[in-house]
Homo-oligomer: A and B are copies of this chain.
Amino acid sequence: MTPRRREPLSRDRVVASALALVELHGVEALSMRKLAAELGVEAMSLYNHVANKDDVLDAIAEVVFADVALPPPTADWRVDARALADAFRAAALAHPRTASLSLARQLGYPAVPVTEAALDVLARAGFDPEQAVHASRTLLAYVIGTLLREIGSGPPDETREPALVATGLPRVAEAARHLAVCHHEAEYRFGLDLVLDALALRAVGAAGGPSAR
């Protein structure tokens, strides 16, 4: 009576399953056979919809950038820059294991709208196109560096602080209490403010106000 035993396979279904598997068990656990099994199908059937395994990995990496919810512009470019960085960060943290893939691979076309938004913010801040490219890359480098640390760090580890003290290095021992913990969110904000402050200085110097430099 059921007209169809199951949903037909499709590239989208394959990619969605792959993303789910990677988030559950990590990239290294993804195999074409397990992916097929997840979809109730044999491995080779996947090749009717994707070119090969690398194609699958590329596809799930792109999803992360496609998921960046670009914030609408306001009158204040600093607010917008922060919102854009936050949106990028949120998209990455929504799929952390896939995000490390996305960040490592070269950012392809799905990242272009993000670039557009960044360049627009920085143009409104007063940068000319060339400076805006440099500034956007600086901002992105910081956000990505932060994300990499956050994604890579496992659960809190009780043994880290004593181990750091035991190194005998004075500055490390002195700061061991702070090195052992990771307030990722707060640290991200600290550095982001810092970078934005610096960009604001450069923007003023470049175009807007009468300030020095």
Measuring CB to CB, which residues of chain A are less than 8 angstroms from any residue of chain B? 100, 103-106, 109, 112-113, 115-116, 119-120, 123, 129-130, 132-134, 137-138, 140-146, 148-149, 152-154, 163-164, 167, 169-172, 174-175, 178-179, 187, 190-191, 194-195, 197-199, 201-202
Contacts and interface: CB of A to CB of B under 8 A. Distances in A.
A141 B130 contact: no
Contact of A175 (B133, B144, B167, B175): B133
Contacts of A144: 144-145, 148-149
A162 to B, nearest CB: 13
A81 to B, nearest CB: 13
B133 A141 contact: no
> Copies of this chain, how many?
2
Nearest to A105: B152
A129 to B, nearest CB: 4
Q: Which of A144, A164, A172, A199 has the most CB of B within 10 A?
A: A172
A106 B153 contact: yes
Given A133-B178, A172-B115, A145 B152 contact: no
A31 to B, nearest CB: 15
